[in-house]
Structure 1
Amino acid sequence: MDEVEVLVAHSERATLRVGEVFLKVDADQARIDAEVEAMSLAPVPTPEILWRRPPVLALAALPGTALGRLGGPSTGSPAAWAAAGAALRELHDAPPPAREGRAGRSGAALAAELDDECELLVASGLLPAGLVTRNRRAAEAALRPWTAAFTHGDLQVAHVFVDGDEVTGVIDWSEAGRGDALYDLATLTLGHEEHLDDVLAGYGTGVDLDVVRAWWSLRSLLTVRWLVEHGFDPFAPGCEVDVLRSRT
């Protein structure tokens, strides 16, 4: 029998790998519904759906390896990063789904959430006030009107699989929907600023780099406390807290 490898596990959901099959366990069926719909609409490679028996979704493993991981070196070549950028442009140019995704929150809603989160980060002692204030100011550029695009919503570098210089698939579509395209670009390059130019070589023009950098601050501020509460370490080298420090 194949070993069971736990890829991600917290109180909301878990992803396991058994041989060549990924098993996603999620009690929120609306989230699984959104993932299945997004994969059916996305114009980029996605895992094959093998079966679905709530609360489990079974997906075929993708060939190749993840482009990299947050807090670690990228295993992908510059050409692989450029291919990821090209695939992202193809996604963003596709007709957006009706559903609003994680990247679809309005500037006003994000500003209110961000202000509350910054207050909690300081009050809890997780982060020093100066670091939070400087990044809150830097995040302001992301809080502007944007044109709705088909966004992945959680395009971490570990969610893009490559074989050589080709993208073989993108996983974890539960946050997909209408949203800000630059949020995806920022999420993909979070902690890997050295590959931003490679991604843009594949993605093309029309990217406001100040907004991408603002999203680095905004996303990191919004996730630090959640990560700590769910057993992850945003203080590890190269992860969210280092991203916040690098922004200032």
Structure 2
Amino acid sequence: MDEVEVVVAHTERATLRVGDVFLKVDSDQTNTDIEVKAMALAPIPTPEILWRKPPVLALAALSGSALGRLGEPSPASSAAWAAAGAAIRKLHDAPLPPWSSRRSLEEIRTRLDDECEGLVANDVLPADVVTRNREVAEAALRPWTPVFIHGDLQITHVFVDGDQVTGVIDWSEAAPGDALYDLAILTLGHEEHLDDVIAGYGIDVDRAVIRAWWSWRSLCAARWLIEHGFDPDTPGAEFDVLRSQM
């Protein structure tokens, strides 16, 4: 029998791997509903759904390996990063999914303000780091034309084999949203590959907004990461991203 590998586990969800099958267990079936619908609509490779028996979703493993990990040099080539950019552009050019955005602009702004206040009040980060990144993040808080976004496009969610994208996983945050948010999450902590991604994406983008989303994501993710047993202060991770914006 294949060994059971715990890919990720916290109080909200867990993912296990058994051989070539991934078993995802989510406490909120709304997330799984969106994931299944998004994968059916996305015009890019996604994992095959083997079966679903709530609260478990079984997916076939993708070929290749993840584009990289936050805090570590990416083993993928520049061409692979460009291919990821091209895949994102194809997703963003697709028709919008038939459900509403999961966050309004006002909710995004309010969350940022609340998280910044908590980081300072609890001495998680120096006040000047939080204040500076709150200023940087402001550039992202503007109206945008919504596109079909993945919504959580971390580099561990994009699989490549050589210079080809073999699939994208974890679609529970998919929704209409800001195209530059996807590009920012993919390149968070890997600024050295931003040019490759933009080249593959095929059109010029506002890099100041991408940097703004780096700050927003890093500020807003910190408390959740700490509460769920992850360390945003590991080298190359969220706190280093915030410090680099100073």
TM-score class, shorter-chain normalisation, is: over 0.9
State which of 230, 234, 238 in structure 2 corresponds to 1:240.
238
Give the equivalent residue in structure 2 for 1:24: 24
Pairing of 1:60-71 with structure 2 (within 5 A): 60-71=60-71
Deviation at 1:107, TM superposition (A): 2.8
Give the equivalent residue in structure 1 for 2:147: 149
Residue 15 (structure 1) aligned with residue 15 (structure 2): yes
- Aligned pairs, number: 246
State which of 199, 202, 205 in structure 1 corresponds to 2:200.
202
Deviation at 1:101, TM superposition (A): 4.4
SS at match of 1:22: strand
Moved more, 24-33 or 77-86: 24-33
SS at match of 1:216: helix
Extract unaligned runs of 5+ from structure 1: none
Deviations 1:133-152 (A, max 9, x none): 00000000000000010000
Name the amino acid aligned to 1:91.
Answer: L
Give the equivalent residue in structure 2 for 1:75: 75
SS at match of 2:22: strand
SS at match of 1:138: helix
Residue 117 (structure 1) aligned with residue 118 (structure 2): no
Task: Tell me the distance in 1 between the aligned counterparts of 2:109 and 2:49.
Answer: 37
Asked if the contact 2:198/2:204 (under 8 Å) is kept, the reply is: no
What is the aligned-residue identity percentage? 73
Give the equivalent residue in structure 2 for 1:216: 214
Give the equivalent residue in structure 2 for 1:226: 224
Name the amino acid aligned to 2:134.
Answer: R
Deviation at 1:169, TM superposition (A): 0.1
Pick closer, same or farther for the CA change 1:101–1:47 going to 2, 3 Å.
Answer: farther
Name the amino acid aligned to 2:73.
Answer: P
Name the amino acid aligned to 1:71.
Answer: G
**What is the root-mean-square deviation of aligned Cα atoms in Å?**
0.8
Task: Tell me the distance in 2 between the aligned counterparts of 1:181 and 1:98.
Answer: 17
Residue 140 (structure 1) aligned with residue 130 (structure 2): no
Pairing of 1:44-59 with structure 2 (within 5 A): 44-59=44-59
Task: Tell me the distance in 1 between the aligned counterparts of 2:184 and 2:53.
Answer: 34
Deviations 1:192-240 (A, max 9, x none): 0000000011001141111001000001000011100000010000000
Give the equivalent residue in structure 2 for 1:174: 172
Deviation at 1:99, TM superposition (A): 1.9
Asked if the contact 1:101/1:151 (under 8 Å) is kept, the reply is: no
Asked if the contact 1:24/1:58 (under 8 Å) is kept, the reply is: yes
Asked if the contact 1:25/1:57 (under 8 Å) is kept, the reply is: yes
Deviation at 1:73, TM superposition (A): 1.1
Name the amino acid aligned to 1:33.
Answer: D
Residue 160 (structure 1) aligned with residue 163 (structure 2): no
Deviations 1:142-170 (A, max 9, x none): 00000010000000001000000000000
Asked if the contact 1:101/1:175 (under 8 Å) is kept, the reply is: no
Task: Tell me the distance in 1 between the aligned counterparts of 2:101 and 2:155.
Answer: 18
TM-score (norm 2): 0.98
Name the amino acid aligned to 2:174.
Answer: A
Task: Tell me the distance in 2 between the aligned counterparts of 1:70 and 1:192.
Answer: 8
TM-score (norm 1): 0.98
Task: Tell me the distance in 1 between the aligned counterparts of 2:3 and 2:176.
Answer: 37
Moved more, 107-116 or 129-138: 107-116
Pairing of 1:32-47 with structure 2 (within 5 A): 32-47=32-47
SS at match of 1:69: coil
Deviation at 1:90, TM superposition (A): 0.1
Asked if the contact 1:101/1:153 (under 8 Å) is kept, the reply is: no
